[in-house]
Structure 1
Amino acid sequence: MAVKNGAYFDFIVIGGGTAGNIVAARLAENPHARILVVEAGIGTSKDNEEIRTPGLAMDIRGSKYDWAYKTTMIKRDDYERIEKPNTRGKALGGSSSLNYFSWVPGSKGTFDMWEEYGGKEWTWEPLVPYLRKSVTYHDDAGLYAPELKNIGAGGPIPIAHAELMPEMKPFRELLTKAWKSTGEPVSENIFDGTMRGLVHSVNTIYKGRRSGSFLAVADKPNITIFPESPEYRAAKAANDGLDPFCPYGQPHFELDFIPLFGSAFQWHFPHPNKGSYMTIMVDLVRPVSEGGEVTLNSSDPLQQANINLNYFNNDLDIIAMREGIRFSYDVLKNGEGFKDIVEDEYPWDMPLHDDEAMKRTVLDRSQTSFHPCGTARLAKSIEEGVVNPSLQVHGIKNLRVIDASVIPVIPDCRIQNSVYMVAEKGADAIKRDHADLYH
């Protein structure tokens, strides 16, 4: 959309990402407020089949909708890995247009740790309404506990449990039996501050379509979307056609049990030629290694910054990941039900009983689950962080940062829900400061 010279806006949102669109949509609740959203990527995510089709999520990784940042994953005295891409969404909706859909709130204990940085208002109880404000939960078939409707009602983003495919019922039953046999709980509700147990995932998918923050700004007459701006196109042309800019730093376990069909998922290894198989992902969501860093690569703003995720800088993270892998094997190879049907490993056997070999395996085979955050940290003073509890940049008037970069302590889960929460709370902070527009 062209923006006319001399056009006037009450608010300018730089970046129509997961958080930016929610902020814009909330500010647009006053029909007289004029909001401009500037986005480097496409502005048509709502009608883009590649983005809206969940089954294509892996295909658009590394595509024109992805910033695809080159990152140092691991940098130790004895080991280093540099990889590309580190996916971040470059389209209206940001990473909510490219992510893998998980809707998880995190734990009360972790959010209560935010008090040190933002005060009581940034702890679990006051944040719960914001964690639930952006979404509407759907259980059209009435399969789940009625109280789950409380996790979202009236928000612009529809969410639902992953579809229960009838042909996967034997898999679900065997997995549940194996899990229970280890003494671990099964849970229907991880949304009240305690996250433990085997749970059926809630996703930002509804009726077979991806839900992203682009839905929040659709059909809002007082929001102007300015996608693929001429300034961005000029910067890209000056950088030999390559995307010139870059994001922020990054991240007890999450285990994902994924039954796979045919060629639905191909990443680093080809799928087996025959038979049924599954992939297990062990996620370390509370690392103890020091945070990563983003540093300038040169004085040229078109040069991508240096991004070091700093994974496994502390050996305790390697040990934690090793034990998480061993636990997953215990569930599947010794758990009741599954132990009778697991026949083999692919593409190679895991060296479960050799600590040194497991260390190398963790270093060689680990991948990022994305979700970088925390480089413009929330803090009470300029000496400790970038933004104050109202998300205003310390020392600068009328500038706020409202996105994943303000997160002071990484939530113990995928952070999509947390980013929406930050956006909702940030939008309310703006409204409080503009009582002339928001009564």
Structure 2
Amino acid sequence: MSTQEYDYIIAGAGSAGCAVAYRLIENGAGSVLLLEAGEKDSSMFHKIPATVVKVFQQKSWPYMTLPQKHANNRSMLIAQGKVLGGGSSVNGMIYIRGQHQDYDDWKEKWGCEGWGYEDVLPFFRKAEANESLGDRYHGEEGPVPVGENRFRHPLTQACIRACAQMGLPYTNDFNGATQEGAGFYQTTIHKGERASTSQTYLKRVAGNPKLTVLTHALVHRVDIDGKRASGVTYSIKGGAPITAKARKEVIVSSGTFGSAKILMLSGIGPKEHLESVGVKTKLDLPVGKNFHDHLHMSLNATINEDISLFQEDKGISAVKHMLQWQMFRSGLMTSNILEGGAFVDSEGVGRPDIQLHFLPLLDNFDNTPGEKPEAEAHGVSIKVGHLRSKSRGEVRLKSSDPNELVEIDANFLSKPEDLENQIRAVQTGLKVLEMPSLKRIVKRVIEPDNIAIDDKQGLEAFVRENIKTVYHPGGTCKLGTSTEDSVVDLQLRVHGVDNLRVVDMSICPQVPSGNTNAVAMMIGERGADLILQAQ
């Protein structure tokens, strides 16, 4: 077994891990080893925004839940990026931070002092280079370009107009003073290309002799000597184990599933569970608990005009779009497809609780594989979902083998209010489809098929059969002050272990309201700042 030594070791080169690596190198904090289980993001399809479905399907960990008893015993796909840049290299590129109250809830409801909205806002701004917004909510000089889509599909525009007709205000900033409204999402797309954390943060320090980036590197465990994290053991492409020593800190940034798995394989987790899979317990902490995710359903409607994206990826159309992108970085291929959306306060309480995504084709690409046939018509989809699940599940090891994926007991819809909230989300989407700008082009709503907007029983059946994840998992290494219900302290240090932090979406007490890539980058920025302060 060979041995290496660095000042810092980061397990996971996703949205948070890349941010941490960049800030440590930029500030001259020492040598950094960045380990990524996936491959390099060198494929052209990582650069093309519109090929999001292709890269997502091919460059992700194929996580599946156990059968969900509250969702007709269906297993659900919760794929997560397995490539340099992590989720930012395979996601829909939507830039959403969540609501002010989400972070104030972290502070006030879960006791996470120092993590309120005004505490985290500087780190959102630090990450961002916004091309068009410059008030107190936005940054202009960060590593990550955030801006407007240059391609806007007429069906997306029709959906946004429908929301206005329903009474929602139009907005060009879901990340400012308020989240409520409908409009085009800002995205992490720059000059027609995906701006992942690999192509932004890491690219800025590419070639720096203090940074070593290894791909195909699977972390087996964090090595712990007494009460101190001394390094990690990993392997490259299934080869012999390699030990890397950390002089200063080990930072685990492998995501909600990967970080929980690494900690548990290291002997940090629920004692009874670890012993059941043959892992000796070093610290009894609630790793894997508090798991939750955003859920949604796709409302699909056929249309009476052949203007959707159906068949645009075939034949002459595909060639034309690709040539336009290659020659001019313009046209359909620069679109993230999910170009627009809305946040709706469905209960009239002054805080949005439902998110809509607009899709200019019939959506079935993120269903569980084999669950539904391919769409065979022009259409439009409104993806609807409630933003703050109360149900909690658990992530566990299947065995002590680091090559094996974790077991995900998601427990979706186990709280009755979650079901009620998702039914209301479907009703909200159906109202949008009834507005004039969509009513005149919709031929027939096919999902849900022939279910009236006030048919609670029918809508409940639809929800249970069609609900799926939005790939925004969080919570398994929860932030907090008590070892009874949290894994990391308010500086992201694992309780009871020196020189070990978790820095990614797994720390969220409650996943913020909306898409999560911006949140992961903020956590990376905040984590890096905490590490630098501790030097």
Q: In 2 relative to 1, CA 23–110 (structure 1 residues): closer, same or farther, beyond 3 Å? A: same
The alpha-carbon deviation at position 378 of structure 1 amounts to 0.6
Quick check: 318-327 or 367-376, which moved more? 318-327
Matches within 5 A, 1:283-362: 283-289=385-391, 291-333=392-434, 335-346=435-446, 349-352=449-452, 353-362=454-463
The alpha-carbon deviation at position 302 of structure 1 amounts to 3.7
Does structure 1 residue 114 correspond to structure 2 residue 111? no
Q: Deviations over 1:179-199 (max 9, x none)?
A: 223222222222235211112
The alpha-carbon deviation at position 138 of structure 1 amounts to 2.2
In 1, distance between residues paired with 2:101 and 2:441? 38
In 1, distance between residues paired with 2:168 and 2:240? 51
Aligned to 2:501, what secondary structure does the other structure show? coil
Instruction: Select 1:271's aligned residue among 375, 392, 397.
Output: 375
In 2, distance between residues paired with 1:396 and 1:369? 33
Does structure 1 residue 86 correspond to structure 2 residue 86? no
Aligned to 1:180, what secondary structure does the other structure show? helix
Cα pair 1:23 1:423 within 8 Å, conserved: yes
1:36: which partner in 2? 33
Quick check: 149-158 or 195-204, which moved more? 149-158
Does structure 1 residue 22 correspond to structure 2 residue 7? no
Aligned to 1:106, what secondary structure does the other structure show? coil
Q: Deviations over 1:215-260 (max 9, x none)?
A: 21121412110111371422799xxxxxxx9535331110112223
Aligned to 2:213, what secondary structure does the other structure show? strand
In 2, distance between residues paired with 1:383 and 1:123? 22
> AA paired with 1:68?
P
The alpha-carbon deviation at position 12 of structure 1 amounts to 0.8
Does structure 1 residue 52 correspond to structure 2 residue 52? no
Q: In 2 relative to 1, CA 17–159 (structure 1 residues): closer, same or farther, beyond 3 Å? A: same
1:225: which partner in 2? 213
> AA paired with 1:272?
E
Aligned to 1:27, what secondary structure does the other structure show? helix
Aligned to 2:30, what secondary structure does the other structure show? coil
Instruction: Select 2:120's aligned residue among 127, 131, 137.
Output: 127
The alpha-carbon deviation at position 347 of structure 1 amounts to 6.2
The alpha-carbon deviation at position 422 of structure 1 amounts to 0.8
The alpha-carbon deviation at position 270 of structure 1 amounts to 2.5
In 2, distance between residues paired with 1:60 and 1:122? 33
Q: Which has the higher strand share?
A: 2
Q: Deviations over 1:136-180 (max 9, x none)?
A: 1224xxxxxx53695232222222122243xx35x4554344322
In 2, distance between residues paired with 1:102 and 1:201? 6
In 1, distance between residues paired with 2:35 and 2:94? 26
Q: In 2 relative to 1, CA 283–106 (structure 1 residues): closer, same or farther, beyond 3 Å? A: same
Q: In 2 relative to 1, CA 174–53 (structure 1 residues): closer, same or farther, beyond 3 Å? A: closer
In 1, distance between residues paired with 2:239 and 2:74? 29
Q: In 2 relative to 1, CA 270–264 (structure 1 residues): closer, same or farther, beyond 3 Å? A: closer
In 2, distance between residues paired with 1:317 and 1:232? 42
Cα pair 2:174 2:185 within 8 Å, conserved: no
What RMSD over aligned residues (CA atoms) do the two structures have, in Å? 2.8
Cα pair 2:357 2:384 within 8 Å, conserved: yes
2:292: which partner in 1? 250
Cα pair 1:137 1:159 within 8 Å, conserved: yes
Quick check: 366-375 or 152-161, which moved more? 152-161
Cα pair 1:105 1:191 within 8 Å, conserved: yes
> AA paired with 1:316?
E
2:382: which partner in 1? 280
Instruction: Select 2:466's aligned residue among 357, 365, 372.
Output: 365
In 2, distance between residues paired with 1:388 and 1:246? 19
- Unaligned stretches of 5+ residues in structure 1: 140-145, 238-244, 435-439
Aligned to 1:254, what secondary structure does the other structure show? strand
In 2, distance between residues paired with 1:429 and 1:95? 23
In 2, distance between residues paired with 1:149 and 1:343? 44
Q: In 2 relative to 1, CA 176–413 (structure 1 residues): closer, same or farther, beyond 3 Å? A: closer
Instruction: Select 2:60's aligned residue among 61, 66, 71.
Output: 66
* TM-score of the aligned structures, taking structure 2 as reference length: 0.70
Cα pair 2:112 2:490 within 8 Å, conserved: yes
Q: In 2 relative to 1, CA 345–178 (structure 1 residues): closer, same or farther, beyond 3 Å? A: same
Cα pair 1:73 1:310 within 8 Å, conserved: no
Does structure 1 residue 157 correspond to structure 2 residue 157? no
1:143: which partner in 2? none
In 2, distance between residues paired with 1:57 and 1:366? 21
Matches within 5 A, 1:397-408: 397-408=498-509
In 2, distance between residues paired with 1:427 and 1:329? 44
Cα pair 2:475 2:509 within 8 Å, conserved: yes
Cα pair 2:473 2:511 within 8 Å, conserved: no
> AA paired with 1:70?
M
* TM-score of the aligned structures, taking structure 1 as reference length: 0.84
The alpha-carbon deviation at position 296 of structure 1 amounts to 2.6
1:234: which partner in 2? 238
Cα pair 2:81 2:90 within 8 Å, conserved: yes
In 2, distance between residues paired with 1:264 and 1:119? 39
- Unaligned stretches of 5+ residues in structure 2: 218-233, 242-255, 261-290, 294-352
Cα pair 1:73 1:311 within 8 Å, conserved: no
Quick check: 336-345 or 277-286, which moved more? 336-345
Does structure 1 residue 430 correspond to structure 2 residue 531? yes
In 1, distance between residues paired with 2:117 and 2:503? 18
| % same residue | 27
